[in-house]
Amino acid sequence: MYRAPVEDIAFTLKHVAGMKSALDAGRFGDLGDDLVDAVLGEAGRFATEEVAPLYTIGDRQGAVLKDAAVTTPPGWKELYRRWIDGGWNALSGPEEYGGQALPTMLGVAALEMWNSAAMAFGIGPTLTMGAVEALDKHASTDLKAKYLEKLVSGEWMGTMNLTEPQAGSDLAALRARAEPVGDGSYRIFGQKIFITYGEHDFTDNIIHLVLARLPDAPAGTRGISLFLVPKFLVGDDGALGARNDVFCSGLEHKLGIHASPTCTMIYGDGFQGAKPGAIGWLIGEENKGLACMFTMMNNARLCVGMQGVAVAEAATQKAIAYANERRQGKAASYTGTGMAPIVHHPDVQRNLLTMKALTQTARAISYSCAHAIDMARVSAGDEAAHWRDRANLLTPLAKAFSTDIGVEIASLGLQVHGGMGFIEETGAAAFYRDARIAPIYEGTNGIQAIDLVMRKLPLGGGDHVHGYIAELADMAAAVRTSNLQGFGRTADALDAALGDLSEATRFLQKLAAEGRADEALAGATPYLRLISLAAGGAYLARGALADQGRIPLCRFFAENLLGEVSALRARVIDGAESLAAAGKTLISA
């Protein structure tokens, strides 16, 4: 069973992602090492002892829909109550509304542990936390006063309603409509699909954030507004009133995360005899809903990245445990009697070390993104702008690379288990099934790559990414001058990878500047993996310099996995023409 790797998480936060220097400088007020360690320790205990034991029952029984009501698996509702009673939903929420206002870094570290223990559980509060951020930044004073305190505490949960049957990633095609009533409220009509925790039994109210169009809205994304639509209307005294005209008409039968209800939501259909039109209130300005929703979306993208890290960690733990128990064949390194535990076989070791290295790499990238968010919040002027650019640069890496390797590592875990990995009873297959959704939702990983190349590489006039590469190069130089034993060819491998990264970056920036977008986009996905691997190698080196016990894994990554960067550079620079030519053969007349 999963055990939260609290020490490794704390080390990565403090010594790789930058928390220690921020704590030492007093950037987070009175927050110190002792409190950080206490929060992580208790979060790890709760994830290990409370959440993880309910994973299997959640996977096997799933959520059930009957008469427009969703029942979660046995024990899950009670688990959620213990979770909010522990204050976990309020960890990084605004103090004004009952939150603890702790750094984002601590919030995502705890989120990793919830999702490792049971991704279907951890995904629910993720949307609530995003709703809190969107309301805190964009909602009116009245809406904040009525809804934020109970969302921050977790007494109510929130959702994000974007997707419609005809509009997946292309939000310009949204058809849901909002009609003004005349008293400041609106009536919402339409259908939304793939709504995570759109209906459930965890809380007695659910607060939906819904994208819809006003009657006179401009076409496309410029005409989208954001509305708050509660399941139950809320009185001025905070008491629940009548049921709103919104309900769940169906649950998706999914590959994984079975305990997480993925709902089709119907707005304005006259549910239970109500006057047609779900009552909602505008968040932010008319026709500016996408900007408001992206506050929530960017939060969700980092959180989804943590799901990738989380599944990777859980799959790695399970594979290592199995490899130490399962006996098969002979191995030169095994001195015992009988068949050797398969962990002694070099090919199994290669798989396990790949899993460990990629997990730590993705964790470092994601925590570094969270660190940038925190530093932007506590800084001002040019320093704040620098950290906002850094958070923006790292967000697509955290989301896409982490979720890609989550699938990759879950698959390697199946391989380590051999034929038993394909059998549901071992539990290894469940990680793969859960992980596979994460590269798809909150903006597919292809969209993350487009965002990285077209919007993030130009940050700071195109200079910010090169400043980041220079920081990574400093880590490589520190390895070269450290005189520590065991690094092997790590410094050479890092220098080569960062050189490839710099060349590929300038190439893509040149294409974009010349208006050759299709050629740039042909290399976007390989570029995202390239920059993530190069950055990850540097982060592993930083960790190894701080703790020499980490040198062997750093060297393994540098000498066995980092060579992929060279091939990725070639794909970025030389692959566009062949992609365009071959792509034409796929298009039907």
pLDDT tens digits, one per residue of 375-409: 999 999 999 999 999 999 999 999 999 999 999 99
271 C-beta neighbours (distance < 10 Å), count: 17
Verify whether residue 442 is a known catalytic residue: yes
- Give CA–CA dist 186/174, Å, rounded: 17
User: Has residue 293 got a pLDDT over 90?
Assistant: no
Question: Of all helices (H) and strands (E), which one includes residue 63?
Answer: none
Mean pLDDT within 173-188: 95
Q: Express as a percent the part of the chain with pLDDT over 90.
A: 93
pLDDT tens digits, one per residue of 218-236: 988 899 999 999 999 999 9
Q: Are 400 and 449 in contact (CB under 8 A)?
A: yes
User: Has residue 38 got a pLDDT over 70?
Assistant: yes
Cα 457 to chain centroid, rounded: 21
pLDDT tens digits, one per residue of 482-533: 989 999 999 999 999 999 999 999 999 999 999 999 999 999 999 999 999 9
Mean pLDDT within 26-55: 97
Question: Tokens representing 552?
Answer: 């062997």
DSSP 419: G
Q: Tell me the one-letter amino acid at 206.
A: I
Q: Are 253 and 65 in contact (CB under 8 A)?
A: no
**Per the residue annotation, which of 50, 112, 313, 442 is the catalytic one?**
442
Residue 234 makes CB contacts below 8 A (sequence gap 6+) with 146, 147, 205, 240, 241
With bands split at pLDDT 50, 70 and 90, how would you rate the model's confidence at 298? confident
pTM of structure: 0.96
DSSP 283: E
Burial of residue 368 (number of CB atoms within 10 Å: 0-12, 13-18, 19+): buried
Q: What was the pLDDT predicted at 294?
A: 78
Distances in Å between the Cα of 86 and the Cα atoms of 110, 154, 156 are 13, 10, 15
279 C-beta neighbours (distance < 10 Å), count: 23
Average pLDDT value over all residues in the chain:
96
Name the residue among 271, 272, 251 with its Cα closest to residue 262. 251
Q: What was the pLDDT predicted at 269?
A: 96
Q: CA geometry: angle at 381 spanning 380 and 387, to 5°?
A: 70
Q: What was the pLDDT predicted at 474?
A: 97
Name the residue among 374, 331, 81 with its Cα closest to residue 201. 81
Q: What was the pLDDT predicted at 226?
A: 96
With bands split at pLDDT 50, 70 and 90, how would you rate the model's confidence at 589? low
